Amino acid sequence: MCAESAAPVAVDPAFAVRQGDCPKTILLVEDNAELLEVTGEILSFSGYQVLTATSESQALEVWQQFSHQIDLLLTDVMMANRATGFELARKLQASKPKLKVVYTSGFEPEICDFDPALGGALFLQKPFSLEALTRVLSDSLRVGAADS
């Protein structure tokens, strides 16, 4: 379930993953199809490998196949069927405790009960810019590699 791109997205090279770096794999979970597609394209053109899911159950299916490759979970806080990104992250970190996590939401962090002490996870407010997205991902991944 890799993100496929139909049209090129202009990405400033300053925000792209450096060429010498080993590509990092991001599991992108977003229930808004348009936002999932655009964000997936941006990440792909920035040099990341991207796996996508539109729900918690789909994300768990992707995880079963590719958990050893996934370096970071980028997930919406509130998803369909009352699932939350917090619950999803806890499930995935049960098998990979050092998995990096970045939460996104259109709500303020305080409203969605984001706790900055949550295992070093970061929060990205929607709507976000390309610069903010790539900076947060870079900061999260720089802290250390996820366990294999």
Domains and CATH numbers, the chain: 17-142 (3.40.50.2300)
Residue 4 has pLDDT above 80, yes or no: no
Q: What integer best gives the mean pLDDT of the chain?
A: 80
Return left, alpha or beta for 114; rule: phi > 0 is left, psi -120 to 50 is alpha, else beta.
Answer: beta
Q: What is the pLDDT of residue 18?
A: 43
> If you average pLDDT over residues 14-40, what whole number do you get?
79
Distance from C-alpha of 89 to C-alpha of 92, rounded to nearest angstrom: 5
Helix (H, G, I), strand (E, B) or coil at 37: helix
φ/ψ (deg, to 5) at 116? -60, -20
